[in-house]
Amino acid sequence: MTDHDVPIVEPERRLGRPMFWVSAVVGWAVIAYGIRGLLHHHIDTRPANLAKFFVGGALAHDLLFAPVVLVVGVLLVRAAPRPARAWLQAGLIVSGCLVLFSYPLVRDYAKVIHNPSSLPHNYTANLAVTVGVVWGAVIVGALATAVLRRRASRPPRTD
Amino acid sequence: MPAREAIERRVRELTTDPDQPLHQHAYQSPLRDERLAAWLGASLGILFSICFVTGLYSHLHQHPLSWLPVPSRPAGLYRVTQSLHVAAGIASMPILLAKLWVVWPRFVSLPPVKNAAHLVERIGLFPLVAGGIFMVFSGIANIAQWYPWRFGFPAAHYWVAWIVVGALVAHVGAKWAIARRALARPSRRPPLGAADDALGAVAERAHPGLSRRGFLGTVFGAAGVLTLTTVGQTVTPLRRLALLAPRDPAVGPQGRPVNRSAANAGVLQSAPSPDYRLVVEGKVRRRLSFDASQLESMAAHEATLPISCVEGWSYSARWRGVRVRDLLVMAGAAPSATARVHSLEQGSVYSSSFLDHAQAHDRDTLLATHFDGMRLDLDHGFPLRLIGPGRPGVNQTKWVTRLVVE
């Protein structure tokens, strides 16, 4: 039996029922307050345009980003050598986050406002340095674990 | 019908069972685990709560309520809360993505709805997920000054925050029992140190690739690297590490950043003009008017105060200027007076800012002419800018031309 076969225990769900409904009512009241505020301040919030980004973000994640990550994961499992897999996964996760965060910096969208103190660095170079340091750490970590593992599996010397 | 069976088999493979979300077919990974989901969810809940509370505080500064005055002391309070707001928002990015990755197969669970509670829970996931993505995306885009949308960022970010928090309350209520159980019980697999040949098949080590602990550590590590490479925009000793920060607290006119240049504010002619005057008017006994050189000779009070931008960068400087409270006394304003400070800049929501009673009468609330021994540059608000303790940068109005006593 694997740990995946441990069933969700129904009685605990039932115990959670009153809390579920109370928090659902409170939560949806707060959501309604937010939606009301968005609509009330429509000159600032532009609800139609905002809705595009609200729905678009979720769709972009669920239908584009998540499947791409799943496919990368599958390819990694198939292609990467087993001892290096964990380190490759870690390196890809950290550098992926860095690239995503830096995207608007690297594209330098702020240049249209001509403010020299906005985005003052060369972010392409800085991203390359940061990602380089991350992969340096990945390589060092992978080599260190390989050495430790080899040492651990070596039979003790008898002489 | 073999074709129908084949389709049914394919659907079974590509979907998951809402009761056995870990018993997945196409998305099997030892990392998709209740305990891991609970850890990520709890971390995200903490970060989003920090963002919400600090965001509310910032909103209150910019949209003051007469019955809930914001404190002007300690002077660095807003610097701390807003730096936390932006740092927690940045750090939540990897954790949000990891959390969504762990629970993503639930998105394709069949049947889509089992009962009323399940329906309510699933509908509530939309504002939670879409709202969470919206908040993190719009926040990160905003600090990079990237505006691919047409709505006003502060209003949209503020109202969607309520939607996310509401959805979070509902979600916590739905998951409380499961998350508590998942966090309370010991890991179902022995830790690495306890792995031996007999346990090999179920120990973490037997699984090639990241362990659950390793995955959690990596995600927190990603949040840590993002924090380390950005937080120097406000924690100045870490400035040299801030390779990916949108601002450098030591880069800008006179070695300090600005959010709005004189050119962007349209004050290149009016600010240095010999016609410039500061006028103190409104509910006063004497209307006052000063030109730039008079203000400079009157500027005798000094205060060390931070300037803290809503976008999460800040620096501290030694400011010199005229106390607002001295001007109020000179003009014969009532002891209960409040004031509104107006800029030469026209047509912006930040063209003026409000000083409540405590702020207007604080000994360090200045209309400054100098900082760090230098006459203010045009981009820093020459000839006169407001600087007061514990205020957001957008309320430290630049190019001040009118003080209207209320």
Q: Which DSSP string corresponds to B1-68? A: -HHHHHHHHHHHHHSBBTTBTTS-STT--TT--HHHHHHHHHHHHHHHHHHHHHHHHHHHHHS-BTTB
Q: Are A110 and B134 inside 8 Å of each other by CB?
A: no
| DSSP per-residue codes, B292-361 | HHHHHHH--EEEEEEEE-TTS-EEEEEEEEEEHHHHHHHTT--TT--EEEEES--SSTTSEEEE-HHHHT
Poorest-pLDDT segment among B108-117, B137-146, B255-264, B370-379:
B108-117
Task: Grade residue B63 by pLDDT with cuts at 50, 70 and 90.
Answer: very high
Asked if A119 reaches chain B (Cβ–Cβ under 8 Å), the answer is: yes
Of A28, A70, A94, the CB nearest to B27: A70
Q: In chain B, what is the straight-line distance between the N-terminal and C-terminal CA atoms, in Å?
A: 82
Identify whether A70 is part of a domain: yes
Whether A115 is covered by a domain: the verdict is yes
For residue B298, the model assigns a pLDDT of 94
Per cent of chain B over pLDDT 70 is: 91
Indicate if A31 and A68 belong to the same structural domain.
no
**Residue A15: what pLDDT?**
46
Mean local confidence (pLDDT), B371-396? 95
pLDDT digit string (tens) for B227-238?
999 999 999 999
Question: By the CB < 8 Å criterion, does A14 face chain B?
Answer: no
Residues, chain A, total? 159
Rounded to the nearest angstrom, the minimum Cα separation between A71 and chain B is 10
| Amino acid occupying residue B385 | R
Whether residue B252 and residue A117 make contact (CB cut-off 8 A), yes or no, is yes
> Does A70 lie in the same domain as A37?
no
Structure-token pair, residue B125: 């996931």
pLDDT score, position B194: 44
Q: Residue B199 pLDDT > 50, yes or no?
A: no
pLDDT at residue B225 tops 70: yes
Are residues B51 and B282 in contact, defined by beta-carbon separation less than 8 angstroms?
Answer: no
Residue A68 exposed, middle or buried by CB count within 10 Å (0-12, 13-18, 19+): exposed
Residue B24 scores a pLDDT above 80: no
Q: Per residue in A17-48, pLDDT tens?
A: 888 999 999 999 999 999 999 999 999 999 99
Q: Work out the average pLDDT over B291-304.
A: 94
Rounded to an integer, the average pLDDT of B307-326 is: 96
Check residue B172 and give its pLDDT: 94
| Structure-model confidence comparison of residues B13 and A159, the more confident one | B13
Predicted pLDDT of residue B204: 44
Residue A29 lies in a domain: yes
Confidence of residue B10 (pLDDT cuts 50, 70, 90): confident
**Based on the domain organization, do A100 and A141 belong to the same domain?**
yes
Distance of CA A129 to the CA centre of its chain: 21
pLDDT of residue B153: 96
Give residue A128's identity as a one-letter amino acid code: A
At B102-144, the pLDDT tens digits run 888 888 777 788 888 889 999 999 999 999 999 999 999 999 9
- For residue B189, the chain A residues in CB contact (below 8 A) are 3
* pLDDT digit string, tens, across residues A72-110: 988 988 888 878 889 999 999 999 999 999 999 999 998
Of residues B183 and B250, which shows the higher confidence score?
B250
Same domain as A3, residue A64: no
Cβ partners under 8 Å of residue A98, min gap 6: A127, A130, A131, A134, B222, B225, B226, B229, B244
Which chain B residues touch A106 with a CB distance below 8 Å?
none
Domain tally, chain A: 2
A90/B214 CB distance under 8 A: yes
How sure is the predictor about B185, in pLDDT bands with cuts at 50, 70 and 90? low
Instruction: Name the percent of chain B lying above pLDDT 90.
Output: 71
CA distance B240 to chain A (A): 11
pLDDT of residue B21: 55
Same domain, A133 and A152: yes
**pLDDT score for B66:** 83
**8 Å CB contact of A121 and B158:** no
Closest chain B residue by Cα to residue A5: B23
Write the DSSP string, B65-77: BTTBPPP--STTH
Contact call for B177 and A45, based on CB within 8 A: no
For residues A65 and A14, state if they share a domain: no
pLDDT higher than threshold 50 for residue B205: no
Q: A85 contacts in B (CB within 8 Å)?
A: 208-210
Residue from the list A21, A93, A130 with its beta carbon closest to the beta carbon of B218: A93
Q: Does A26 share its domain with A102?
A: no
Collect all residues of chain B within an 8 Å Cβ-Cβ radius of residue A83: 208
Domain span at residue A28 reads: 1-45
CB–CB contact A110 B29 (8 Å): no
Is the pLDDT score of B397 beyond 90?
Answer: yes
Q: What is the pLDDT of residues B66-76, one digit of tens each?
A: 888 888 889 99
Instruction: Give residue B207's pLDDT.
Output: 60
Tokens 């394919």 locate to B10
Statement to judge: residues A36 and A78 lie in one domain: no
Contact flag A22-B173 (C-beta cutoff 8 Å): yes
Does residue A127 belong to any structural domain of this protein?
yes
**Which pLDDT belongs to residue B34?**
80
Interface test with B, best of A1, A2, A4, A17 (most B CBs within 10 A): A4
Decide if A51 is inside a domain: no
ipTM of the complex: 0.89
Contact A37 B162 (CB under 8 A): yes
pLDDT of residue A105: 96
Pick A117's closest partner by Cβ from B154, B229, B258. Answer: B258
Rounded to a whole number of angstroms, the distance between the first and last alpha carbons of chain A is 44
Confidence of residue B87 (pLDDT cuts 50, 70, 90): very high
Q: Which of B225, B258, B264, B307 to mutate to test the interface with A (most CBs of A within 10 A)?
A: B225
- Is A19 part of any domain? yes
Tell me what pLDDT residue B338 has.
95
Residue B155 vs residue A114, higher pLDDT: B155
Considering all CA atoms of chain B, what is the largest pairwise distance in Å, rounded to the nearest integer?
95
Residues A61 and A37 in one domain: no
- Report the DSSP beta bridge partners of residue B340: B354, B404
pLDDT higher than 70, residue B56: yes
Q: Which of A111-125, B48-62, B102-116 has the lowest mean pLDDT?
A: B102-116
The pTM of this model reads 0.90
* A89 and A135 part of one domain: yes
Q: Which among A19, A89, A134 is the nearest to B209, CB-wise?
A: A89
Q: Report the SS3 class of residue B370.
A: strand
In a domain, A15, yes or no: yes
Q: How confident is the model over B162-171, as pLDDT tens digits? A: 999 999 999 9
Amino acid at A86: A
pLDDT(B23) > 80: no
A98 and A24 belong to one structural domain: no
Q: What is the mean pLDDT of chain A?
A: 86
Same domain, A100 and A156: yes
Averaged pLDDT for residues B248-268: 93
Amino acid A17: pLDDT:
80
Give me the mean pLDDT over the B343-372 stretch.
Answer: 93
pLDDT of B12 over the 80 cut? no
Is residue A4 in some structural domain? Answer: yes
